[in-house]
Amino acid sequence: MENGSHMSYLTLDGFVELNKYRYLYFVITFVLYSFIICCNAVTVSIIYIHRSLHEPMYIFIACLCFNALWGTTAFYPKFLVDLLSEKQLISYPACKLQSFLVYTFAVSEFTLLTAMAYDRYVSICKPLQYVTIVNMHTVGKLLLCSWSVPSVCNFIGVMLSNSVSLCKLTLNRLYCDNYSVVKLGCTNTNANTIFGLLVLALMVGPAVMFVIFSYVQIVLVVIKSSPELRRKAIQTCLPHVLVFMIYTINCTFEMVQTRLDSEVPHLYRMFLSIQGVVIPPLLNPIIYGLKLQELSTRLKKLICPHKEMH
Whether the model clears a pTM of 0.75, i.e. scores above it, the answer is yes
In-domain check, residue 246: yes
Mean pLDDT, residues 224-252 taken together: 83
Q: Is the dihedral of CA 279, 280, 281, 282 positive or negative?
A: positive
pLDDT at 149: 92
In-domain check, residue 201: yes
The percent of residues in the chain predicted with pLDDT above 70, rounded, is 87
Domain of residue 246, residue span: 3-297
Mean pLDDT, residues 212-230 taken together: 88
In-domain check, residue 304: no
In-domain check, residue 29: yes
Backbone angles phi, psi at 55, to 5 degrees: -120, 155
Q: Is residue 34 classed exposed, middle or buried when 0-12, 13-18 and 19+ CB atoms within 10 A define those classes?
A: exposed
In-domain check, residue 180: yes
Per-residue pLDDT tens digits for 130-183: 999 999 999 999 999 999 999 999 999 888 888 788 888 888 888 988 888 888
Length in residues, the chain: 310
State the Cα–Cα distance between residues 163 and 236, nearest whole angstrom: 47
CATH of residue 218: 1.20.1070.10
pLDDT at 213: 93
User: 8: closest CA among 163, 190, 167, 175?
Assistant: 167
Number of domains the chain is built from: 1
In-domain check, residue 224: yes
In-domain check, residue 114: yes
Look over the chain and give the mean of its residue pLDDT values, rounded to a whole number: 84
Mean pLDDT, residues 13-36 taken together: 87
In-domain check, residue 303: no
- pLDDT tier at 129, thresholds 50, 70, 90: very high
pLDDT at 310: 44
- pLDDT tier at 302, thresholds 50, 70, 90: low
- Distances in Å between the Cα of 288 and the Cα atoms of 31, 81, 135, 208, 266 are 21, 31, 22, 20, 34
